[in-house]
Structure 1
Amino acid sequence: MKVFHFHFGKDGGAETFFVHLIGALGRREVEQLAVIRKQRAWRTKIAPYAEIIESNFRNLSIDRLALPLKVRALAREHQPEAIMSWATRGSRLMPPYRAGITLSRLGDYPTHLGYFRNTDVLICNTPGIADHVRRIGWTRGVEVISNFTATEPVPPAARTDLNTPADAPVVMAMGRFVKRKGLNILIEAAALVPDIYLWIAGDGEELPALEALVAERGLAHRTRFLGWRQDTRPFVAAADLFVMPSFHEPLGNVILEAWAQKRPVISTRSEGPSWFMTDEENGLLVPIADKDALAGAISRLLTDASLRRGIAEAGHKALIDRFSEEAVAGAYLDLFKRRPAWR
């Protein structure tokens, strides 16, 4: 089986899943070609499993004109069973193709359907996204296939490496530093909980504002900005609990990564977590942008060891039952074999 991928993302949860899926399909002997941005840090991770073409594919570039011609020629030559684009920019590159199935994978809510004129099936990683595309007029195929993450536990990072006392309560968060991730609310909540240390992994445009807020709230001595890490798992494993404070989160890959390390999770009631998390069972859910509720949930978990253990165990079980590599890779392989009935 041959599959082409078009992916022009940078760094984040969607890119992490892209790397995971490329590896899972490669281990199942799928031949793959991936068109990606230049100089991606995760390029080496997919290189063993896919032929790689690097391109900027920007509006004002030679690639914007030449790349569509190149991928059409490659599709005619190799006749892949499936061509799969990732998000909206990749979908703009999708050629007209009738020898196999064309797919666009969505990890967020598109504003319109013009990106997908050559797409047979939209793959949505939550039911909410699937409902949205139908609501705005999509009439072709829709499939809901969620993400998976690596499930093996890893040794925790040494807290001393981050100038953190061994017995201090540590709260971990990670993601792109953009406003919708709600990291400012987490900082505000941390200021209300005495003695906790806050580890935040990631980078982005909001870093100066977040650093300023940390200083303003007097948290500089117990906040650690970890930067962008290729492997965050050791830091998650070393924390006492994980928080995802997003205002808008279609899925929440970081929650799955925390569950893999058997960490208890607190999340806002954003779209994705509200679908796959059950409050008081495999996590604690709090209102969006409510620093007091978030601080209360952090304090509750830190003071109740039994609750922490129970929530962590239930989260890990949900990960294995619903978000395993075997189940998700199998669903993609089945989809790649289909031929659209509406042609």
Structure 2
Amino acid sequence: MAGAPHGGAEAFFERLVLAQHRAGMDVLAVIRRDAGRAARLTEAGLPPTQLRFGGPLDWLTAPRLRRELKTFRPRVVVAWMSRAAGFARAASGRNPPWAMTGRLGGAYPLRHYSACDLLAANTQGLCDWITAQGWPADRVRRVPNFAADLLGTPPATLPFAPGAIPLLAMGRLHPNKDFATLLRAMALLPGQVHLALAGDGPERIMLETLAGELGLGRRVAFLGWRQDVGALLAASRMLVVPSRIEPLGNVVLEGFSASRPVVATLADGPREVIRPEENGMLVPIGDAPALAAAITTLLDQPERAEALAAAGRAAFLAEHAEAAGLAAWARFLEEAARRHGSLA
């Protein structure tokens, strides 16, 4: 996995390999050099191999990765997103003894995955997109993400005055996440409604400036990147996901897990996992008044909010809990190994 220090796909990589390790699977985690990620994996008993995973002039990562793979002798290699797929292909060469697979969490260029026997995509919509690009339908499988079980986590302390009604939003501060629309929605809500925004990224200064221009003041707390997702959810009245582009939205699954009502936009991922008015609420993308109206509805109707949260929790247990997710990944890996002929 050669991704960024923070992000939903990167966080799920950590969650998956550690869950597989706890379940007794022999796992080698290979990551781009990152002290924080390496420390978390090591502390949990899975010290990773760290490589550079650099740009076109990085001539060292592929041979080093090849040595690691030959020593470990895997049955299946999973390339986590595009950069990792390119290096895994270079390291494996032609006719490797292991099955090659790729995991996609978005509409990535498929040329990077040309050496893969099988692809895993985390939503049906993404599977459909992959086959629409010409990839054979029998070589892609939907393998849903899973979230940690966050129910019962003690709440975090949020920097709001007593009596505040806290909302939570989480993610990279990037245009795709469209937190600007959420801030504009906040300006339409009563003054006792506050927002905790957990994340960081290139839009932080712009968003802080916008919050000031909207007169939100201390009603918005920029928390930076946080690892205590369960505690933040426990301290919040609801989770809001205002994304313009969201292939899945791991935060939606985390909201379900923590039994918190979720208000999200009609982006691809939330639209696939949220059943409107049953286990969450969906609003048009980029529509601040509609977002504010949905939030107001759930604040004004706590019994309705509680029912949505309970249905979200049930959906989490049925498909997105760790046991279900590990079983789906085990089936995918076994199929990939069989396809490659590495199972008897």
- TM-score, normalising length: structure 1: 0.92
In structure 1, the residue matched to 2:173 is 177
Within the candidate set 143, 146, 162, 2:144 is matched to 146
In structure 2, the residue matched to 1:290 is 287
The answer on whether the counterparts of 1:7 and 1:85 sit within 8 Å (CA) in structure 2 is no
RMSD over aligned CA atoms reads 1.7
Within the candidate set 221, 229, 232, 1:224 is matched to 221
Q: What SS does structure 1 have at the residue aligned with 2:48?
A: strand
Offset, 1:76: 2.8
2:45 corresponds to 1:45: no
In structure 2, the residue matched to 1:135 is 132
Residues of 2 paired with 1:40 and 1:169: CA distance?
A: 36
Offset, 1:118: 1.5
Q: What is the number of equivalent residue pairs in this alignment?
A: 332
In structure 2, the residue matched to 1:3 is none
Rate the CA distance shift 1:54–1:77 in 2: closer, same or farther, 3 A: closer
In structure 1, the residue matched to 2:77 is 83
The answer on whether the counterparts of 1:32 and 1:49 sit within 8 Å (CA) in structure 2 is no
Offset, 1:136: 0.7
2:29 corresponds to 1:34: yes
The answer on whether the counterparts of 2:150 and 2:254 sit within 8 Å (CA) in structure 1 is no
Q: Residues 57-72 of structure 1 correspond to what in structure 2 (within 5 A)? A: 57-59=53-55, 61=57, 64-72=58-66
Offset, 1:199: 0.8
Offset, 1:174: 0.8
Offset, 1:225: 0.6
Q: Residues 215-254 of structure 1 correspond to what in structure 2 (within 5 A)? A: 215-254=212-251
The answer on whether the counterparts of 2:120 and 2:140 sit within 8 Å (CA) in structure 1 is yes
Offset, 1:8: 2.9
Rate the CA distance shift 1:59–1:42 in 2: closer, same or farther, 3 A: closer
The answer on whether the counterparts of 2:53 and 2:84 sit within 8 Å (CA) in structure 1 is no
In structure 1, the residue matched to 2:211 is 214
The answer on whether the counterparts of 1:120 and 1:340 sit within 8 Å (CA) in structure 2 is no
Q: Indicate the larger mover: 216-225 or 50-59.
A: 50-59
Rate the CA distance shift 1:117–1:49 in 2: closer, same or farther, 3 A: farther
Residues of 2 paired with 1:145 and 1:329: CA distance?
A: 10
In structure 1, the residue matched to 2:309 is 312
Residues of 1 paired with 2:224 and 2:68: CA distance?
A: 38
In structure 2, the residue matched to 1:266 is 263
The answer on whether the counterparts of 2:105 and 2:121 sit within 8 Å (CA) in structure 1 is yes
Offset, 1:342: 7.9
Offset, 1:16: 1.5
Offset, 1:141: 1.0
* Aligned amino acid, residue 150 of structure 2: E
2:201 corresponds to 1:193: no
Offset, 1:130: 0.7
Q: What SS does structure 1 have at the residue aligned with 2:246?
A: coil
Rate the CA distance shift 1:227–1:158 in 2: closer, same or farther, 3 A: same
Q: What SS does structure 2 have at the residue aligned with 1:301?
A: helix
The answer on whether the counterparts of 1:35 and 1:53 sit within 8 Å (CA) in structure 2 is yes
The answer on whether the counterparts of 1:269 and 1:287 sit within 8 Å (CA) in structure 2 is yes
The answer on whether the counterparts of 2:99 and 2:340 sit within 8 Å (CA) in structure 1 is no
The answer on whether the counterparts of 2:28 and 2:72 sit within 8 Å (CA) in structure 1 is no
Question: In the TM superposition, what whole-angstrom CA distance separates every residue of 1:219-267 from its partner, at most 9, and x where no partner exists?
Answer: 0121111111122221111111110000010001011111222111100
The answer on whether the counterparts of 1:10 and 1:40 sit within 8 Å (CA) in structure 2 is no
- Percent of aligned positions with the same letter in both sequences? 33
In structure 1, the residue matched to 2:3 is 8
The answer on whether the counterparts of 1:31 and 1:49 sit within 8 Å (CA) in structure 2 is no
2:68 corresponds to 1:74: yes
The answer on whether the counterparts of 2:3 and 2:10 sit within 8 Å (CA) in structure 1 is no
Structure 1 alignment gaps of length 5 or more: 1-5
In structure 2, the residue matched to 1:100 is 98
Offset, 1:51: 4.2
Q: What SS does structure 2 have at the residue aligned with 1:173?
A: strand
The answer on whether the counterparts of 2:5 and 2:34 sit within 8 Å (CA) in structure 1 is no
Q: What SS does structure 2 have at the residue aligned with 1:50?
A: coil
Structure 2 alignment gaps of length 5 or more: none
Q: What SS does structure 1 have at the residue aligned with 2:154?
A: coil
